[in-house]
Amino acid sequence: MPDELEKINEIFRLHEEVEKTASQKKIEESDLKGALQGKAAVSDRIRSFVNGPDDDEADEEISEDELTERDYRPVRRGREYHSGCLGGVMYFVFILCISIILACVAWMSAADALALNKELFTAEVTLPTDIFTSKTVETFDDKGNVTGTKRVSSADIDYVAEELKSAGLIQYKWLFKLFCKVSKADTKLDPGEYELKSSYDYRALVGKMQKNSGAAATVMVTIPEGFTMSQIFYRLEENGVCSYDDLMEAAANENFDYFFLEGTESGDPLRLEGFLFPDTYEFYKSMSAASAINKFLQNFYGKISADMEKQLSDKGMSLRDVLKIASLIEREAANDEERPLIASVIYNRLRTGWSLGLESSILYVHQDHEGAPTAEMLKEDSPYNLMEKTGLPPTPISNPGISSINAALVPDTTNYFFFTLDTATGTHRFFETLDQFNAFVATQDYGG
């Protein structure tokens, strides 16, 4: 029995030790948990000190029992700090790159607008008349007040910019067009052909693409006496002044304000025949057709003296009729000495009601024909066939020079009614009677 009691007591002792050990373990675990909570509270206070308290926890005090183990880690900069620093650097680099690009664009634009550092050369730029249109703009007084409106010619700046770009005179069409819009350059340009230098800046380019600027390309054209209007217009086209069609259109419809054109029928280009004074002219290349024609008319107007006006009045004739006679003289005369004599024959025949009998007039209808008129031409039913019709032709048949005009105004006084070519001398012989005329013709060989 004692042995059994001892065994029982030993079992109870061991059981108490196990319970004691378990109790101590619970206490240690509780202490460890509290210690960890305390560390968490300390960490929260450290963060609150660094970052500032939260709105909801600013006044809350944290005990050491609330700390956790993780809050005892050393204080260090977080990942957010590194990301913010890198973003700032990238933003600075971005701004720097944009600034450099803008500075380069500004420099290149300024270099183009001011013609800086360009290779020196000269280029020809043509502004044709068909890129110009008419538009209404306001007019201003010296104080900047609007006084009314006026019609002006406006150039197609897109076309102008393209031409300058193609010629290498500008690099940036958009910049030139912006300059033209601000400076209203479209109304300052004139049609024509211009010789422009690469050293011209935008302002100089606009200034040089104007008449009388010194940069406008010009050409000297000589118009011989006796040329018809058609021949004159073809010669102007050949020399690059303006096109034949544009000249004919302007001759027909343009309003030229000269007294000698009063009463002429608009729409008919032949109203100007005889008034295009033959001379040597300086024209701008690719100028307007109306301006080119006006050069002739202005020159003709300057040739009309007070004496001429008095002679017209004394004769009771219109200037246009005198030009018809002068144009016939111009086509028939071999030299200046013959002109007053031929004029006397014309006036003598007109007074008697005879036909003028001049073959040259029918050639006005056949301007492409070379040589003497054919027999068929001389039988045509045309107002220009002066072998058949009496009186003067409906228009001058050429544009006479001043010598022929003077001869038509002051003819010689003769009894001549006939004249014909002397093939031996290349001049004309004059006769009073038909028998005298036929006798001389029989001695000549006119080639059939």
Structure confidence at residue 142 (pLDDT): 82
Question: At which residue do the structure tokens 């300024």 appear?
Answer: 110
Confidence of residue 241 (pLDDT cuts 50, 70, 90): very high
Closest CA to 191 of 288, 289, 281, 124: 288
Give the HSE-up count for residue 78: Cα atoms under 13 Å, Cβ half-sphere.
5
> Is the pLDDT assigned to residue 1 strictly greater than 60?
no
Structure confidence at residue 178 (pLDDT): 94
Three-state secondary-structure class, residue 316? coil
Structure confidence at residue 146 (pLDDT): 86
The mean predicted confidence, pLDDT, of the chain is 83
pTM higher than the cut 0.75: no
Structure confidence at residue 344 (pLDDT): 98
Lowest average pLDDT, out of 52-56, 297-301, 307-311, goes to 52-56
Closest CA to 124 of 206, 216, 190: 216
Three-state secondary-structure class, residue 127? strand
Structure confidence at residue 21 (pLDDT): 56
Lowest average pLDDT, out of 147-151, 202-206, 330-334, 413-417, goes to 147-151
> Is the pLDDT assigned to residue 307 strictly greater than 90?
no
Q: What is the mean pLDDT of residues 179-188?
A: 92
Structure confidence at residue 44 (pLDDT): 56
> Is the pLDDT assigned to residue 46 strictly greater than 60?
no
> Is the pLDDT assigned to residue 434 strictly greater than 50?
yes
Q: What is the mean pLDDT of residues 102-124?
A: 79
pLDDT in tens, 420-433: 999 999 999 999 99
Give the HSE-up count for residue 393: Cα atoms under 13 Å, Cβ half-sphere.
29
Structure confidence at residue 263 (pLDDT): 79
Q: In this predicted model, which residue has the larger pLDDT, 406 or 448?
A: 406
Three-state secondary-structure class, residue 224? coil
Q: In this predicted model, which residue has the larger pLDDT, 445 or 384?
A: 384
Q: In this predicted model, which residue has the larger pLDDT, 65 or 338?
A: 338
